[in-house]
Structure 1
Amino acid sequence: MMKLLRRHRDWLMIVIAILAIPFIFYFVQRPDYGAIGRDHFARIYDRNVSMLEAQQFARLLNLAQALGMSDFVGTLTAGAGLNQNQAAVQFIVNLLVLRHEAERLGLRPSASEVADVVRKLPAFQGDSGFDINKFNDLVQNGLAPLGLTEDHIEQLVRDQISLNEIRKLLAAGVSLPKSELDENFQRGYDRLYVSVVRFRAADFDKDIKITGEDVQKYYDTHKEELKTDEKRKVEFVQVTLNEEDKKLAGRERIEALQKLADRATDFTQALLEKSADFKQAAAKFQLPVRETGEFTAAEPDPQLKVDPKLGAAAFKLSTQEPHSDAVQVADGFYILNLTGKTEARPLTLEEAKPKIVDALKKTQARELMSTKGAELVQQLREAKKSGQPLEAAIEKAGVKPEKLPAFSLIEEESEKSEGNEQKKQSPELLTIKDSVALLNPGDVTDFVPSGTDGLIAVLEKREPLADTSGADKKAAFEKRILENKEGIVLVEWLRDRQQAAGLEFKKG
Structure 2
Amino acid sequence: MLTTLRTHQRKLFLIITVVVIVAFAWLYDPGNMKQFQSSGLVQIYGKTYTQTDIDREVKNFTLARALGQFELLSELGGLSQNEQRAVEDFIFNLLVLQHQAGLLGVEPTPEQIAERIQSLPVFQTDGKFDYQKYARFVQEQLGPRGFTEIQLETVVRDSLRLEKIKSFISAPATVGAAEVDEALRIFQKVDVQVIRFPAIANEASAAIAQEEITEFFNRNKMTSPETRVVKFVEFSLPADAANQTDSGKKVEAMQHLADTAAAFAEKAIGGFDTAAQQAGLTVQTSAAFDKMGRAKEGVAITELPEIAPQAFLLSEKTPVSDVVQAGDKFFVLKLETITPERALTVDEVRPIAEARLKLIKAERLAAENGQKAVAQLREAIAAGKPLPEAALALGLKVDTLTGLEPQKLLEQNIPYEAVKLTLLLQPAQLTNYIPTADGGVALYLQSRAPTDAAAADQASQRVSVENDLLEGKRKLLFLSWLDDAREAAKITPLGRTR
TM over 0.5: yes
The aligned counterpart of 2:443 is 457
Unmatched 5+ residue regions in structure 2? none
**Cα gap change, 1:232 to 1:281, in 2 (>3 Å):** farther
SS at match of 1:31: helix
**CA contact under 8 A between 1:226 and 1:352: conserved in structure 2?**
no
The aligned counterpart of 2:305 is 309
The aligned counterpart of 1:45 is 45
SS at match of 1:143: helix
Listed one character per residue, the Cα deviations across residues 298-318 of structure 1 (whole Å, up to 9, x for unaligned) are 762253451572697599689
**Cα gap change, 1:107 to 1:372, in 2 (>3 Å):** closer
Shift of 1:165: 1.5
Q: Which moved more, 1:218-227 or 1:194-203?
A: 218-227
The aligned counterpart of 1:247 is 243
- Confirm whether residue 235 of structure 1 aligns to residue 230 of structure 2: yes
CA distance in 1 between partners of 2:101 and 2:310 (Å) = 44
Shift of 1:183: 0.8
CA distance in 2 between partners of 1:319 and 1:386 (Å) = 75
Listed one character per residue, the Cα deviations across residues 262-290 of structure 1 (whole Å, up to 9, x for unaligned) are 8778888999x8xx876567668876432
CA distance in 2 between partners of 1:358 and 1:255 (Å) = 54
**Cα gap change, 1:160 to 1:228, in 2 (>3 Å):** closer
Which of 23, 26, 32 is the matching residue for 1:17?
23
- Confirm whether residue 94 of structure 1 aligns to residue 93 of structure 2: yes
The aligned counterpart of 1:332 is 329
**CA contact under 8 A between 1:322 and 1:337: conserved in structure 2?**
yes
SS at match of 1:17: coil
**Cα gap change, 1:499 to 1:131, in 2 (>3 Å):** same
Mapping 1:47-446, distance limit 5 Å: 47-77=47-77, 81-186=80-185, 188-201=186-199, 208=204, 210=206, 214-224=208-218, 232=227, 234-244=229-239, 245-248=241-244, 288-293=282-287, 300-301=296-297, 303-304=299-300, 306-307=302-303, 309=305, 329-334=326-331, 335=333, 337-339=335-337, 341=339, 345-346=344-345, 348=347, 358-359=355-356, 361-404=358-401, 407-409=404-406, 428-446=414-432
Question: Which residue type is aligned with residue 461 of structure 1?
Answer: S
Listed one character per residue, the Cα deviations across residues 136-169 of structure 1 (whole Å, up to 9, x for unaligned) are 2212322222333334333332322222121111
The aligned counterpart of 1:420 is none
**CA contact under 8 A between 2:216 and 2:353: conserved in structure 1?**
no
Q: Percent identity?
A: 26
Shift of 1:17: 0.9
Question: Which residue type is aligned with residue 434 of structure 2?
Answer: V
Listed one character per residue, the Cα deviations across residues 16-40 of structure 1 (whole Å, up to 9, x for unaligned) are 71146642x2234x23476x21xx3
SS at match of 2:494: coil
CA distance in 1 between partners of 2:118 and 2:44 (Å) = 34
Question: Which residue type is aligned with residue 27 of structure 1?
Answer: N
**CA contact under 8 A between 1:18 and 1:254: conserved in structure 2?**
no
**Cα gap change, 1:491 to 1:355, in 2 (>3 Å):** closer
TM-score when normalising by structure 2: 0.78
**Cα gap change, 1:159 to 1:100, in 2 (>3 Å):** same
CA distance in 2 between partners of 1:45 and 1:231 (Å) = 37
**CA contact under 8 A between 1:17 and 1:254: conserved in structure 2?**
no
**CA contact under 8 A between 1:295 and 1:301: conserved in structure 2?**
no
SS at match of 1:94: helix
Listed one character per residue, the Cα deviations across residues 414-444 of structure 1 (whole Å, up to 9, x for unaligned) are x9xxxxxxxx969854343234342223222
Which of 497, 500, 503 is the matching residue for 2:485?
497
Q: Which moved more, 1:289-298 or 1:233-242?
A: 289-298
Question: Which residue type is aligned with residue 88 of structure 1?
Answer: V
**CA contact under 8 A between 1:317 and 1:323: conserved in structure 2?**
no
CA distance in 2 between partners of 1:315 and 1:390 (Å) = 62
Shift of 1:68: 1.5
Question: Which residue type is aligned with residue 388 of structure 2?
Answer: E
Question: Which residue type is aligned with residue 389 of structure 2?
Answer: A
**Cα gap change, 1:60 to 1:252, in 2 (>3 Å):** farther
CA distance in 2 between partners of 1:488 and 1:371 (Å) = 36
CA distance in 1 between partners of 2:483 and 2:215 (Å) = 42
**CA contact under 8 A between 2:287 and 2:295: conserved in structure 1?**
no
**Cα gap change, 1:506 to 1:203, in 2 (>3 Å):** closer
TM-score when normalising by structure 1: 0.77
**CA contact under 8 A between 1:227 and 1:347: conserved in structure 2?**
no
Question: Which residue type is aligned with residue 26 of structure 1?
Answer: G
**Cα gap change, 1:22 to 1:444, in 2 (>3 Å):** same
Shift of 1:223: 4.8
CA distance in 2 between partners of 1:329 and 1:218 (Å) = 45
Question: Which residue type is aligned with residue 60 of structure 2?
Answer: L
SS at match of 1:123: helix
SS at match of 1:176: coil
**Cα gap change, 1:366 to 1:159, in 2 (>3 Å):** closer
Question: Which residue type is aligned with residue 453 of structure 1?
Answer: G
The aligned counterpart of 1:31 is 35
- Confirm whether residue 485 of structure 1 aligns to residue 491 of structure 2: no
CA distance in 2 between partners of 1:312 and 1:282 (Å) = 21
**Cα gap change, 1:338 to 1:461, in 2 (>3 Å):** farther
Number of residue pairs matched by the alignment: 478
Shift of 1:378: 0.4
**Cα gap change, 1:165 to 1:288, in 2 (>3 Å):** same
Question: Which residue type is aligned with residue 494 of structure 1?
Answer: L
Shift of 1:98: 2.4
CA distance in 2 between partners of 1:176 and 1:15 (Å) = 50
